[in-house]
Amino acid sequence: MTSPSGVELACMRRKHLRQVLVIERASYPRPWSRGLFLTELANRATRGYWVGLEGAEGGGEGPVLGYGGVMMAGDEGHVTNLAVDPERRGLGIATRLLLQLTVDALTRGARRMTLEVRVSNERAIRLYARFGYLPVGRRKNYYPDSKEDAIIMTVPEVVSQEYLEKLQTIAASVPGPTIVEQPTTRMPG
């Protein structure tokens, strides 16, 4: 496991899907299909999907290290998925992606964030707790493949100076450069 020289965060595009699907299949027992990702990508007004690419040179051409998505429902940003190449886990890629998903949601008017996570996914639960996510409920038998419960986690207020300082502290703790591609066009919402 080697640390990337830098990570570029870019809006997920069709050209990334082949690599995204490889990571998706390695990460989840019931992976999303290409068609589902295409449907999500078509909903740019309420969805933000990002990939982490190796190298911080710009241009979005490096290998996909991980990806994540956020869906807006009113003033709530809901993290739909977050996954990193199994060989690249533990290098801060998920942290970078979750930071970007949060910024994306804030830009779209989020006041709070939510997600579901498998009760057995201790590593992800620790990551989310670092971002201030608190367990607020449980969905029984949420995951059809194993009938495993999901923990519902939320950050009740993301629009505060205290939370923005938390995000800055987390961002400063990630080693190496991160470049964020700025979308050329942003759908309203």
Active site residues: 116, 128
Single out the residue of 96, 55, 103, 105 nearest to residue 78, CA to CA: 105
Question: For the chain, how big is the Rg over CA atoms in Å?
Answer: 16
Q: Among 45, 76, 49, 63, which Cα is nearest to 8's?
A: 63
**159 φ, ψ (degrees, to nearest 5):** -100, 80
- φ, ψ for residue 52, nearest 5 deg: -100, 125
User: What is the token pair recorded at 33?
Assistant: 């299909």
Contacts of 122 (CB under 8 A, 6+ apart): none
The tokens for 165 are 């300082």
Of 54, 43, 122, the closest CA to residue 78 belongs to: 43
In order, the DSSP letters of 128-152 are HHHTT-EEEEEEEEEETTTTEEEEE
